[in-house]
Amino acid sequence: MIPPRTRRLLLARLGELLTYPDDRLGSRLDAAESLAPGDHACAEALASFRAEISDATTDALGEVYTRTFDVAPVCIPYLSIHLFGEESFRRARLMTGLSESLAAAGVALDGELPDHLAVVLRAAPALTEELWEDLLEYVLRAAVHAMDAALAETPNPYRWPLRAVASLVGPATAEDLERLAAARREREAAGRPDAAGAACGGR
């Protein structure tokens, strides 16, 4: 069992693994693995990630990362899209609130939008417990479930860090699944199966 504070530190390390890879990837993976022994599923996923990328160059991993999360992505990394779609006042409201909260906590966006999975995970240790629990309950867990499901049956190596995150945030609840289903219904009713539905299977 991982203590709550260690869990948030580990999520922050996983957030670093879910940024564009550079020559710090190895040390970032070491840092994540050093915190993971208390969660068997997380530790196993990180070991699998290490094994799959062991022979890959940083450039090759960068190409995989771009295909996965950036250009015509296999899986959208923006949490709010999974819950609200791309064009929603609720998404805009969440983005504004997140931006203000991250700035207050001293968390740098590093050129990303505030609802990018890596940004939110990296912020975990810096956020108040109340804000973190709200993010986990109403945003993060459902969106991570959708992302994990999108990559789970693929050979994409980034399925392993996502699986590690999913292990730490816990399984989707009935409420999470209903939030995702409601977002899908809204997209369909509006006649725009947007990026979350298309790129992440509409899960």
80: enclosing H helix or E strand: helix 79-84
Could you tell me which of 119, 199, 187 has the C-alpha nearest to residue 154?
Answer: 199
Q: What is the pLDDT of residue 105?
A: 92
Strand partners, 116: 78
What single string gives the DSSP state of each residue in 156-186? -TTHHHHHHHHHHH-PPPHHHHHHHHHHHHH
Give 78's strand partners. Answer: 116
pLDDT of residue 192: 57
Q: Which residues of the chain have pLDDT under 70?
A: 190-203
Question: Quick one: pLDDT at residue 199?
Answer: 42
Domain boundaries, the chain: 4-199
pLDDT digits (tens, 9 = 90+) for 92-105: 999 999 999 999 99
Tokens of 170: 């816990």
pTM of the model: 0.90
Tokens for 107? Answer: 């968390």
The Cα–Cα gap between 199 and 203 comes to 10
pLDDT of residue 87: 76
Q: What is the pLDDT of residue 198?
A: 41
